[in-house]
């Protein structure tokens, strides 16, 4: 998670109030990226840009939904798409060079505090590797259901 997002949140809500997250070490990031690469039929050592491009190419737009619209509700979207999210999910901020792990309840509650419109392209990844929900900087939402590994 970028430090400025934590600082912005805590400036309003108080020091130490930002949601708990865990920045994954590089070996875990590589393992997750490799697993998703294999599920998509790519070599396990695909670059981050190759992986992100494949995710975008294979994803389906979620019609009528924009994360930048007032009232966007991530929890309702999970229900609508029947994604059945696990208690923890991963956030991919760019090209699988950094992943954060957060609790699902925090992902839903604080979405507007960690995803910044016009600035962030973000993948929310099921920790069981069943789906990826992508939110681009314009608010466009895409979903990719991953094949079993």
Own/partner pairs, 52-55, CB within 8 angstroms, 24+ separation:
52/92, 52/94, 52/95, 52/96, 52/123, 55/123, 55/132, 55/134, 55/144
pLDDT, tens only, 7-53:
989 999 999 988 899 999 999 999 999 999 999 999 988 999 999 99
pLDDT, tens only, 81-125:
999 999 999 999 889 999 999 999 999 999 988 998 888 899 999
Residue 11's region, left for phi above 0, alpha for psi from -120 to 50, else beta, is: alpha
Q: What is the DSSP letter of 130?
A: S
pLDDT, tens only, 44-85:
889 999 999 999 999 999 999 999 998 999 999 999 999 999
Distance CA(20)–CA(56), nearest Å, equals: 28
Q: Taking Cα atoms as reference points, which of 110, 149, 109, 116 lies closest to residue 135?
A: 116
Domain ranges of the chain: 20-145
Q: Is the pTM of this model over 0.75?
A: yes
């Amino acid at each position: 998670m970028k430090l400025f997002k934590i600082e912005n949140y805590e400036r309003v809500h108080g020091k130490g109030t930002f949601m708990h997250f865990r920045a994954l070490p590089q070996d875990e990031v590589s393992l997750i990226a490799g697993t998703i690469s294999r599920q998509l039929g790519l070599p396990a050592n695909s670059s981050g840009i190759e992986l992100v491009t494949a995710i975008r190419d294979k994803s389906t737009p979620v019609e009528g939904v924009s994360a930048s619209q007032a009232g966007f509700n991530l929890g309702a979207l999970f229900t609508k798409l029947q994604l059945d999210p696990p208690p923890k999910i991963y956030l991919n901020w760019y090209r699988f060079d950094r992943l954060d792990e957060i609790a699902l309840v925090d992902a839903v509650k604080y979405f507007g505090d960690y995803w910044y419109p016009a600035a962030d392209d973000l993948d929310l990844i099921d920790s069981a590797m069943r789906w990826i929900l992508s939110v681009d900087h314009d608010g466009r939402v895409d979903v990719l259901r991953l094949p079993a590994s």
